[in-house]
Amino acid sequence: MHTKKIAVDFDGTLCENKFPSIGRPNWKVINELLAEQQAGSKIILWTCRAGEDLKNALEWCKNHNIEFDAVNENMPDIIEAFAVNSRKIYADEYWDDRAVVKRFNAEDMSDYGCQVDC
């Protein structure tokens, strides 16, 4: 059985973008994320924050009842499947304030010599 994985950004998504400070909570996103987690989705924090800034973000999330299954890394099943923890985070959905969503299917990629799995 496949478990849905959601990679969510912090600044500008879970909270108002005030980096390096932390802005006001984005309750619409937080509530939707918590509902997804309650429904069984796995949640990955996918952020550029590191060091003390990351620690502060994680504490902020904990204070808003957000707990992650992974932080800036892949879920264990993905690491096992590919035998490496790639820098590219695998998820079914990516939630980000700067997102542009465009899906390509196998037919779109056929001009480039790609197989279905590329």
The Cα–Cα gap between 46 and 12 comes to 12
Model-level pTM?
Answer: 0.85
What pLDDT does 7 receive?
A: 97
Q: Where are the domains of the chain?
A: 5-112
CATH code, 5-112: 3.40.50.1000
Contacts of 73 (CB under 8 A, 6+ apart): 44, 79, 85, 89
Tens-digit pLDDT profile for residues 56-96: 999 999 999 999 999 999 999 999 998 998 899 999 999 99
